[in-house]
């Protein structure tokens, strides 16, 4: 086993699952591979659920992760756990009449959110449609389009990512409560509690969750060292991840990276509870729609045509 894998508590993800199984059978102790365990591994293995930790325990976990990531990526990495701001419910708008399908948002998201470069598992997918085609079947849409230039004549584009549902189907499906909706509406995953069963992926009607089949790979010099525990910190093989509205940015009053990078201003973001926010303006003044409304997931992601 390599040093990197040994340092990574979730490289032994299956052992947590076996451990939980083993506990019921009174075999817990034998499930923990003590011959490979160092103090850091044992702490991670027995880490409490994030929502049950007190302030001191959270700080200890953040310190441990900062040390591990800094060693692994050979640079100073910070891991914060900034809480939701009171009076904030985040919402997102996407102007389909502006999107040109350039995928800059996809690549900005990969960089900002420390997504694996190999294998690639982008959180945003941009779908391409021919004008006049039936488009309601998202699963059938072309997400691998690769023309010489965009936009292509007679085409339009629809970026899709986590819709941060008010009634998320994903969180209800999770057997370990490793995923939940935060007070500001962002649906998050505790990668240390995810057991990789993928029930949430099956439950999500938008294909917004992604599974790390292999060990994620990010070159050391490309790692974004400013991370959030519930967001863009490096993930592990065997866990599920997804868009968090750039929790590490937005909880500090910044825009998500995809909003900042979009060259045509197709992406809008703000506080749904603030009557003067741009997102409220869009919802109140445009003909907005949400994907698969009939499922009553109530996405906080609104699509519209401004022109
Ligand atoms: S960056 Fe803007 S224009 Fe380009 S694909 Fe994303 S949303 Fe569309
Ligand atoms: S889009 Fe999918 S992953 Fe995101 S909150 Fe809704 S059900 Fe969950």
In this structure, the residue with its CA closest to atom 2 of ligand 2 is 204
Write out pLDDT tens, residues 14-69. 445 444 444 433 334 444 444 555 667 777 878 899 999 999 999 999 999 999 99
Provide the pairing of β-strand 267-271 with 288-289.
unpaired
Q: What is the pLDDT of residue 136?
A: 62
Q: How many CA atoms lie within 13 A of 185 on its CB side?
A: 23
Q: Six-digit token pair at 303?
A: 């699509």
Dist CA 267 CA 93 (whole Å): 6
Place of tokens 């990531």: 69
Q: How far apart are CA 104 and CA 211, in angstroms?
A: 23
pLDDT at 306: 86
Residues of the chain with pLDDT under 50: 1-8, 10-15, 17-34
Q: How far is CA 204 from CA 86, 94, 168, in A?
A: 27, 20, 8
- Return the best residue to mutate from 98, 104, 146 for the ligand 1 pocket (most ligand atoms within 8 A of CB): 104
CB of 188 closer than 6 angstroms to any ligand 2 atom: no
For residue 96, the model assigns a pLDDT of: 96
């Amino acid at each position: 086993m390599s040093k990197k894998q040994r340092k990574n508590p979730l490289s032994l993800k299956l052992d947590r699952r076996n451990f939980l199984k083993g506990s019921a059978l009174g075999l817990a102790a034998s499930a923990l591979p003590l011959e490979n365990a160092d103090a850091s591994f044992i702490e991670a293995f027995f880490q409490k659920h994030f929502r049950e930790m007190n302030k001191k325990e959270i700080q200890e976990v953040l310190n441990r992760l900062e040390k591990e990531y800094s060693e692994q990526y050979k640079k100073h990495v910070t891991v914060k756990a900034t809480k939701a701001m009171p009076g904030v419910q985040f919402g997102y708008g996407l102007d389909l009449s502006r999107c040109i399908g350039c995928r800059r948002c996809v690549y900005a998201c990969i960089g900002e959110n420390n997504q694996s470069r190999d294998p690639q598992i982008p959180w945003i997918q941009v779908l391409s449609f021919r004008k006049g085609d039936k488009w309601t079947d998202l699963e059938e849409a072309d997400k691998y389009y690769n023309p010489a230039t965009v936009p292509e004549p007679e085409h339009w584009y629809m970026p899709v990512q986590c819709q941060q549902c008010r009634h998320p189907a994903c969180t209800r499906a999770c057997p370990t409560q490793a995923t939940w909706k935060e007070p500001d509406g962002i649906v998050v995953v505790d990668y240390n509690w995810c057991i990789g069963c993928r029930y949430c992926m099956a439950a999500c009607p938008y294909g917004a969750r992604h599974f790390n089949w292999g060990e994620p790979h990010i070159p050391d010099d490309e790692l974004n060292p400013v991370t959030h525990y519930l967001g863009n910190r490096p993930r592990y093989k065997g866990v599920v991840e997804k868009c968090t509205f750039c929790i590490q940015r937005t909880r500090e009053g910044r825009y998500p990276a995809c909003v900042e990078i979009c060259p045509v201003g197709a992406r809008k973001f703000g506080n749904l509870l603030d009557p003067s926010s741009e997102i409220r303006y869009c919802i109140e003044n445009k003909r907005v729609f949400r994907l698969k409304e009939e499922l009553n997931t109530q996405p906080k992601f609104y699509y519209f045509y401004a022109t």
